[in-house]
Chains A and B, each alone.
Chain A
């Protein structure tokens, strides 16, 4: 063998999946997010999947305390964070142990060797050191003494004590930035802004980042770097945003489109709290937030604000959704516009609060006492949430009804490029308030004959004084009524009002191959995995049709017709068959389910293989 290392090669790849993993105090979410932003600015398409423990600080070095962030970057449109990472950055033995099974065959592992001491190995449950015992044969292992290098890098920056090792995530980030030929300036700029209050920290993080970058360049461990070219995305201005951000911004957009003040009333709950936090810093935009004493008060306040003429919104996750159920029925009875955002997480009960699931659909549809139908919409991805929030508000206001919007933990925390809409030309979804019409007595339940909506009469308006409430009301007059025929009439009226929305929403569109006999129907956050799985199966010759539901109540008018035109219907869901039951019950089609409840999204390969299996002649 020649004793010279071969010259550095730059390998061009169309996509790569990288997972940063470490202890929850190691700053892996931050490293992943910075890598993502640099990639976004570079122009790659991307998708991310953060995964963090439910405990804020699980014991250091333990498997339970492992936090990770996966990012998928590509030169073409991609949809998912990728099934298996190509590169794993492991900051300690626990991170290696917890993530190794996911690593792609012959994948690359970059390890922080300084953390592989006896104590950390024992905490992770390793009996022997995997770096020495040969168990990592088959992978490319790059050993880097990250702590030693970081210590050296920051020694003159004024940061001391325990602060020194805080910068090691920037060392890892610098190394990955070099390895994947990312631009350095966005990260350096971010460090300057984010830590502007502490010069020493700026200096330490900058030094660690540069040292990591330079380490890649000068060490002989790396045979080549990778180049992922910018993607060809639709022309426009893009930002990289998580679903919780785009939901929050969508609410601001909806209030603007409705010409109404926004009041967001909520109680902290994972994974919905970010929406409250994001909106709470927007007072300058006229946004009011209210952190209530509990979930029930949160929706009560939103409903009260709606009665008084605001766009009232509450947000929560499954356990809170259950608590809000009684007030949702009250909103159905009082026929007031109200948005309820449920960022679903794995249940039942506290379940796995930081993990995703779609098992609140039937609760959103039916989880109320009495006959209490209301519209239900689902967000399919971070990039799509903004429009969905405006659409939900449009329906709530036009039809005077509470509307549930389902998101989930995956959408909430993962980020993707979002092409900005024209914010100066949002649709006008405003509705008129009731005005005195000269009649002696105001009729709060006299309906618009087209929409069946009742008038929205604001307290403070002379001549429209009226009472609403949970007791059944007489049609037109709104007076309390226990008359049997009136109750039947009102129950049917409320049902007809919601059902009628089907005429005011787009028909179901199907992305179908000619001759396809299999239809895949999804809803919510399974969109990217289904889309990518279908694409892969098509590349292998499968003929398949695909439809994704944004409107779950009411369904699009033509859904029955669409379902019945395919001999086989597959419904992949992150639950035990909620949409499946709805479709079978409503349309009498023999649809089959594909169900996963592991707190994780579908992998593309899972959908792809299922399609191949179902389309095999």
Chain B
């Protein structure tokens, strides 16, 4: 586990001396601030923290942190981060990726990281567009979206990152949004506490190439109508007066008026449910996101982290049979002497 500090930190202790170069108004600024605030509050030592990224706007993130950092290549951050976590389980290893980096070119690494459950915290900044390459559609862009590389409409359905993570056996899956810093800090805190891979989708506004993609969750009026805050052990309700709710039936989640069905009929959210099906059903409520959309912790289950399992194997091997050193290993394959 990561050591906690003996001294207290502030956000400034996690800021590097590099000039932040995202576009003015980019959602990445608020996420950066939330992450730095969280790290200071959690009391993590900067030298014990490593940020690893791929390529894309979000992947510049490590340069703006005063911790250790590795800015890798497109899509491969989970691989590099896995190597770091394997080599030194005392480190707190964070992956910063985007919808193109993590779900397109690096999709294979992402799903395998979640399946393995190494102790990685994966932050996927989802702005539903390629920003760094100036505006092509991404694997989370909505169907038929017109972009620079899809002037007649993007074909194929977008990924729903939370559904994907749940299907990939992730032991922790959360979703938050750039504008809501307290919510982001809380989800980060929970991810940090989780032993194993934690996947967090962060809705992030790209004000240059895909502005207001998440307006239904950030606008003053819309927010009240559309934001579903998942709370463990509580019925899933939303709306200005919690007059709306979610029921689960036949494996699907459905929106209802609480007055019509009664509060007892509502789905009670269980983050620790062994079966990911209810969480998956919740993740299917919204695409895009359009309409009521759940935010918070979808899933948080305990499962051995890969490093811990590996350590157990290594320890068992120490006391087990087999050659104790290289000389013995070679001798066992048969040797003979000459002269």
- Contact code string A259-294 (vs B, CB < 8 Å = 1, else 0): 001010100000000000000011111101010111
Q: How far does the Cβ of B133 sit from chain A's closest Cβ, in whole Å? A: 16
Given A40-B336, A237-B335: A467 and B63 interface contact (C-beta under 8 Å): yes
Given A300-B83, A309-B87: A284 and B322 interface contact (C-beta under 8 Å): yes
A297 within 8 A of B: yes
Q: How far is the CA of A281 from the CA of B320 in the complex (A)?
A: 12
Q: How far is the CA of A420 from the CA of B333 in the complex (A)?
A: 12
Q: How far is the CA of A263 from the CA of B313 in the complex (A)?
A: 15
Q: In the complex, what residues of B have CB within 8 A of residue A156's CB? A: none
- Contact code string B108-135 (vs A, CB < 8 Å = 1, else 0): 1100100000000000000000000000
Residue from B48, B71, B79, B86 within 8 A of A460 (CB atoms) = B48
- Contact code string B296-339 (vs A, CB < 8 Å = 1, else 0): 00000000000000100110011010111111011101111111
B81 within 8 A of A: yes
Q: How far does the Cβ of B317 sit from chain A's closest Cβ, in whole Å? A: 4
Q: How far does the Cβ of B307 sit from chain A's closest Cβ, in whole Å? A: 10
Q: How far does the Cβ of A261 sit from chain B's closest Cβ, in whole Å? A: 7
Q: How far does the Cβ of A207 sit from chain B's closest Cβ, in whole Å? A: 24
Q: In the complex, what residues of A have CB within 8 A of residue B324's CB? A: 284-285
Q: How far is the CA of A394 from the CA of B91 in the complex (A)?
A: 27
Given A235-B339, A326-B73, A330-B72: A300 and B109 interface contact (C-beta under 8 Å): yes
A87 within 8 A of B: no
Give the B interface residue count (CB, 8 A). 60
Extra inter-chain contacts (12) besides given A237-B336, A301-B79, A459-B48, CB under 8 Å? A263-B86, A284-B318, A285-B323, A300-B109, A304-B84, A305-B86, A308-B83, A308-B84, A308-B87, A423-B330, A460-B47, A480-B63
Q: How far is the CA of A457 from the CA of B3 in the complex (A)?
A: 19
- Which chain B residues in 47-94 approach chain A with CB under 8 Å? 47-48, 50, 52-53, 55, 62-63, 65-73, 76, 78-88, 90-91
Q: How far is the CA of A305 from the CA of B118 in the complex (A)?
A: 14
Given A296-B79, A300-B80, A470-B71: A479 and B18 interface contact (C-beta under 8 Å): yes
Interface residues on A, range: 35 or more
7 contacts between A and B (CB under 8 A): A249-B329, A304-B81, A309-B87, A462-B45, A465-B67, A467-B65, A468-B71
B289 within 8 A of A: no
Q: How far is the CA of A296 from the CA of B335 in the complex (A)?
A: 38
Q: How far does the Cβ of A106 sit from chain B's closest Cβ, in whole Å? A: 33
Q: How far does the Cβ of A460 sit from chain B's closest Cβ, in whole Å? A: 6
B158 within 8 A of A: no
Q: How far is the CA of A299 from the CA of B80 in the complex (A)?
A: 8
Q: In the complex, what residues of B have CB within 8 A of residue A312's CB? A: 83, 87
Q: How far is the CA of A468 from the CA of B314 in the complex (A)?
A: 31
B46 within 8 A of A: yes
Q: How far is the CA of A297 from the CA of B54 in the complex (A)?
A: 13
Q: In the complex, what residues of B have CB within 8 A of residue A464's CB? A: 47
A423 pairs with B69, CB closer than 8 A: no
Most chain A CB atoms below 10 A, which of B84, B112, B324 = B84
Most chain A CB atoms below 10 A, which of B68, B79, B313 = B79
Pick the interface stretch among A134-142, A238-246, A399-407, A589-597. A238-246
Determine the residue in chain B with the shortest Cβ distance to A299. Answer: B79
A41 pairs with B334, CB closer than 8 A: yes
Q: In the complex, what residues of B have CB within 8 A of residue A284's CB? A: 317-318, 320, 322-324
A470 pairs with B18, CB closer than 8 A: no
Q: How far is the CA of A615 from the CA of B90 in the complex (A)?
A: 65
Listed in ascending order, the chain A residues whose CB lies under 8 Å from chain B are: 37, 40-41, 43, 186, 233-241, 245, 249, 252-253, 256, 261, 263, 265, 281-286, 288, 290, 292-294, 296-310, 312, 326-327, 330, 334, 419-420, 423-424, 458-471, 479-480
Given A284-B317, A308-B84: A468 and B69 interface contact (C-beta under 8 Å): yes
Q: In the complex, what residues of A have CB within 8 A of residue B65's CB? A: 467
Q: In the complex, what residues of B have CB within 8 A of residue A463's CB? A: 47
Q: How far does the Cβ of B218 sit from chain A's closest Cβ, in whole Å? A: 31
Q: How far is the CA of A166 from the CA of B70 in the complex (A)?
A: 54
Q: How far does the Cβ of B12 sit from chain A's closest Cβ, in whole Å? A: 14
Q: In the complex, what residues of A have CB within 8 A of residue B112's CB? A: 292-293, 297
Q: How far does the Cβ of B199 sit from chain A's closest Cβ, in whole Å? A: 16
B47 pairs with A283, CB closer than 8 A: no
Q: How far is the CA of A458 from the CA of B73 in the complex (A)?
A: 20
Determine the residue in chain A with the shortest Cβ distance to B111. Answer: A293
A470 pairs with B72, CB closer than 8 A: yes
Q: How far is the CA of A308 from the CA of B87 in the complex (A)?
A: 6
Q: How far is the CA of A312 from the CA of B69 in the complex (A)?
A: 18
